[in-house]
Amino acid sequence: MDDHHELTLEDLLHDPIILTVMERDGYCPDDIRLLARHAVAGTQVWESVSLRVNARRQNRVFRASTSSACIALCS
């Protein structure tokens, strides 16, 4: 039997290493969830997410804690 399971998006979005890289790049889990929902639906949303991330970068709204940054920025 194969005891390995395929990770879900939610599994990945809770991984500390992935969260660190996403925060460094200006993304939060809600950005990725939004992209995934639109990818499944076949709609285009990249520009709006990209604009949000660029605005965060310009305003230097990076916090030490990804979860607090996402609460403030992705709500």
pTM for the model? 0.59
pLDDT in tens, 55-70: 777 775 444 444 555 5
- The residue ranges of every structural domain in the chain are 37-75
Query: What is residue 34's predicted lDDT score, i.e. its pLDDT?
Result: 87
Q: What is the DSSP string of 10-61?
A: HHHTT-HHHHHHHHHHT--HHHHHHHHHHHHHT---HHHHHHHHHHHHHHT-
